[in-house]
Structure 1
Amino acid sequence: MSPSLYVPSHGRWVVNKPAVLDGWTYGQRTLPRAQQPRDKKAISNDRKLAPVIEEFQQLIEDDPELFMHFHRMFDEVQRQNSELNHVYSYKELMVALDRIITQAPRFGGASNLVMGVPMYAVLAPFCNTPSGYSVFTNPKVNAQLHKIFDVWTEFLVSPESCYVLSTNEQCWFSPMALDVMSQRLGTSFYDAWVCRDSDPNKHYGFTSWDDFFTRRFRPQMREVLDPDNPNLITAACEAYVHTIQSNVRALDKFWIKGHTYSLSHIFNHDPFTPLFVGGTVYQGILSSLDYHHWHSPVDGIVRKTCLIPGTYYAARLDSDPDPDVVSRSQDFVTAVAARALIFIESDNPVIGLMCFVAVGLGEVSTCEITVKEGDRLKKGDDLGSFHFGGSTHCLVFRPQTPLKPFPHVQPGTVQNVNSNIFYIEGGSEKN
């Protein structure tokens, strides 16, 4: 494998090149509608737009406030190169979105990952504008985006979406794609992941884009170390560490940088919230190329699960020219984005009740919980998974839990799922 090919994403989803994003958006607008959709009635080439996109456009035009914000966000976005062909209006944006939902995400190359999250790649330049913030926090817009995602999902779970699971250029089993996906794992794609077939020309046996996106590691890849030690807490996801913060408040100004976590908003005012005030939050962001299942960080019993609806592309505004503002808003989105909560009572009373928070960002952002109240868990047991979109997650602990992170657990580092990330002070520190 060529070491020069692998460009780590560090949790980002789109390339730091505004001109590339502008060109990508324009390219989507000019593409013919793809032929792969399963639902030919819902998305057909004899219509100008898919019905769900027409409905979105009508929503914009019928609501005077939305109509104003959609116009203004095009004026507010920073243009880096006036010679490029940009998308300059909400109608052109609707055409780009219409084309995207007829396609499966493609591999974009080692240094250009915009195709893995194509809808966010189109919307990213607008997310960091005042009017874009108003648009992407609007409940009507998020409800309509959910409808759009539902239509797209029908295609992404269908066999027709396998056309991107081939050895062709910009497909996920091309030589470059396999090289990029294999380098960090240190082994071949086939040896790392559970495949139903050994032939990439047969999609390695994956039955759809979503089947590929939610692929699982082979058992030997991510084993729990020292599973019988109750004083060790393991990583729930394969993720880049964003931050570890203690003394977290019940209510805080989560929209202001430096005032990061607001527990009441993260938990949607759940009755368990007071138990965690003053506690610790560990947060990590998943790469679009990596593993998207969640695993229990402790032995224990599931006390409660819930799904919370929310935003998909809202971000904390800043002056950074890097277009990937949502990836920079990891703490902010825990309070506003669509998310799942899984409260687990550890068998170790020193740990006690803790919570896993899955936060879906962008694209379909589906959080699928596969455990239920009363289930008994061992460290490493499956909790659920993300589907389709980018994602981040948190582990939240009570203030009484004497957590200590291992020295290797630092912001910006990758922590493998099921690896030891915390130990209980006074307990075993074996790693």
Structure 2
Amino acid sequence: MPAAFKGWTHHLFTLPRARPSRDKKCSDDRPLAPVIQEFQQLIEDDPELFMYFHTMFDEVRRPNGDIDYVDDYKELMKALDRIITQAPGFGGVNNLVTGVPMYAVLAPFCNTPSGYSIFTNPKVNAQLHKIFDVWAAFLVSPESRYVLTTNEKCWFSPVAIDVMSQRLGTSFYDAWVCRDSDPDKHYGFTSWDDFFTRRFRPHLREVVDPDNPDIITAPCEAYFHTIQSNVRAVDKFWIKGNSYSLSHVFNHDPFTPLFVGGTVYQGILSSLDYHRWHSPVDGIVRKTRLIPGTYYAARLDNDRDPDIVSRSQDFVTAIAARALIFIESDNPMIGLMCFVAVGLGEVSTCEIMVKEGDRLKKGDELGSFHFGGSTHCLVFRPRVSLKPFSHVQPGTLQNLNSNIFYIEKGTDSN
């Protein structure tokens, strides 16, 4: 287990199982939260899950028998119980724990055969959703602001502010819409979630060429992952190299056949950055859908780095909780396209803010992620002649509303 994970789990088990409000009625020997008790009961009542939750630990156990603080499923329940009483703190720019503490505990198990069986199990994902609902109630409350201070490992500490400012090339206050200029007053943010879903100030990410219908802009502040053409209706999405299975990505939506043979663009969002989605084209919303799915399932590999979910970006588009927004572009050479928001880990709530029939301008807000990690796709129909701009290279940050594609003249998507 990497030092960041080990340090986090050690720190986690030194924390009292209590709300940060320091409720004196909550002590470390109190029972597990009801939703965690329900999870433990689910494991113990289901013989298949009970077996997997034992073999999962065997599959990550070191030769000397240790697994760094979380030794069995009961210890795991205690860890989850503590996590849902806390708001995510700042661990550093390269620290996986930052913003995703539950994934930090679960990640070593995600790349095991038993872990795969657990995290693809519908009953487990339904229970995780219940746990996230309880945690979310805390993360939208004022009590969650205890990490929005200038204290060490908090989001307005000098180190955190410096990291966030360097990423944007300007001061935190100049970059983000704040209700107050004083970090000691949480910059006016009302909760952890209010901070997580913070908005850019209007001047920071303006659409460069808003009246050019042949340019498609980045819908999110995200690192470019891949572009794949000639995508299939049904493919072996669990095998690397067979990335996108459109029927599964769209959950068998009637629009699916229109996109077979088309192109998928995918980008990855960081927990440190902006988490809202914006329209990449002018057009009309034709349909929206929220699709339930997994949270921590990943494509198994032999990489020793435990951050397997980040290596499974294309895989999760077919199985993770996600939102679909179908947009009919005003440009007939683009036509119907789809924005896909995919929630990864933690709460990963996808909130759609538009509805069928809404008229959109390029850069208009579509919705947002809440609480956790995330990725997104743009899906285009075949015969849309997409040409990426030269700066769209794997691993590069594509700023929100920046130009990512242009349409070659003389082509037609119909």
The bucket for the TM-score relative to the shorter chain is over 0.9
8 Å Cα contact 2:346/2:372 also seen in 1? yes
Against the structure 1 CA distance between its residues 201 and 40, is the aligned structure 2 distance closer, same or farther, given a 3 Å change threshold? same
- 1:190 paired with 2:176, answer no
TM-score, with length taken from structure 1: 0.92
Q: Quote the offset at 1:37 in angstroms.
A: 6.2
State the SS of the aligned residue for 2:8: helix
Q: State how far apart, in whole Å, the 1-side matches of 2:24 and 2:117 are.
A: 34
- 1:123 paired with 2:113, answer no
Q: State how far apart, in whole Å, the 2-side matches of 1:123 and 1:284 are.
A: 23
State the SS of the aligned residue for 1:70: helix
Aligned to 2:397: 414
Aligned to 1:34: 18
AA in 2 matched with 1:210: D
Aligned to 2:54: 71
AA in 1 matched with 2:258: L
8 Å Cα contact 2:298/2:309 also seen in 1? yes
State the SS of the aligned residue for 1:142: helix
AA in 1 matched with 2:338: C
Aligned to 1:152: 135
Q: Quote the offset at 1:28 in angstroms.
A: 1.8
The within-5 A match list for 1:237-256 is 237-256=220-239
State the SS of the aligned residue for 1:112: coil
State the SS of the aligned residue for 2:80: helix
Q: Quote the offset at 1:40 in angstroms.
A: 10
Deviations 1:362-398, CA, capped at 9 Å, x for gaps: 0001000000000000000000000001000000000
AA in 2 matched with 1:33: R
State the SS of the aligned residue for 1:342: strand
- 1:378 paired with 2:374, answer no
8 Å Cα contact 1:368/1:385 also seen in 2? yes
Q: Quote the offset at 1:38 in angstroms.
A: 11
- 1:54 paired with 2:33, answer no
State the SS of the aligned residue for 2:159: helix
State the SS of the aligned residue for 1:297: coil
Match of 1:108 among 82, 91, 110: 91
Q: State how far apart, in whole Å, the 1-side matches of 2:346 and 2:197 are.
A: 15
Q: Quote the offset at 1:87 in angstroms.
A: 1.2
Q: State how far apart, in whole Å, the 1-side matches of 2:64 and 2:285 are.
A: 52
AA in 2 matched with 1:423: Y
AA in 2 matched with 1:35: R
Q: State how far apart, in whole Å, the 1-side matches of 2:143 and 2:398 are.
A: 34
Aligned to 2:333: 350
8 Å Cα contact 2:9/2:68 also seen in 1? no
Aligned to 2:82: 99
71-80 or 357-366, which moves further after superposition? 71-80
- 1:226 paired with 2:209, answer yes
Q: Quote the offset at 1:85 in angstroms.
A: 3.6
AA in 1 matched with 2:168: L
Aligned to 1:206: 189
The within-5 A match list for 1:227-306 is 227-306=210-289
Q: Quote the offset at 1:26 in angstroms.
A: 3.7
State the SS of the aligned residue for 1:184: helix
- 1:173 paired with 2:195, answer no
8 Å Cα contact 2:96/2:104 also seen in 1? no
111-120 or 399-408, which moves further after superposition? 111-120
Aligned to 2:318: 335
8 Å Cα contact 2:221/2:397 also seen in 1? yes
Match of 2:2 among 2, 6, 18: 18
AA in 1 matched with 2:407: I
- 1:90 paired with 2:98, answer no
Return 5+ residue gaps in structure 2 as ranges. none
Deviations 1:56-75, CA, capped at 9 Å, x for gaps: 00000000000000000101
Q: In angstroms, what is the RMSD of aligned CA positions?
A: 1.9
- 1:138 paired with 2:128, answer no
AA in 2 matched with 1:299: D
AA in 2 matched with 1:20: A
Q: State how far apart, in whole Å, the 1-side matches of 2:381 and 2:343 are.
A: 24
8 Å Cα contact 1:37/1:155 also seen in 2? no
134-143 or 82-91, which moves further after superposition? 82-91
8 Å Cα contact 1:19/1:84 also seen in 2? no
Q: Percent identity?
A: 84
Return 5+ residue gaps in structure 1 as ranges. 1-16
Against the structure 1 CA distance between its residues 217 and 116, is the aligned structure 2 distance closer, same or farther, given a 3 Å change threshold? same
Match of 1:313 among 285, 296, 304: 296
Q: State how far apart, in whole Å, the 2-side matches of 1:150 and 1:81 are.
A: 38
TM-score, with length taken from structure 2: 0.96
Against the structure 1 CA distance between its residues 352 and 389, is the aligned structure 2 distance closer, same or farther, given a 3 Å change threshold? same
Q: Quote the offset at 1:18 in angstroms.
A: 2.1
8 Å Cα contact 1:354/1:396 also seen in 2? yes
State the SS of the aligned residue for 1:222: coil
8 Å Cα contact 2:16/2:27 also seen in 1? no
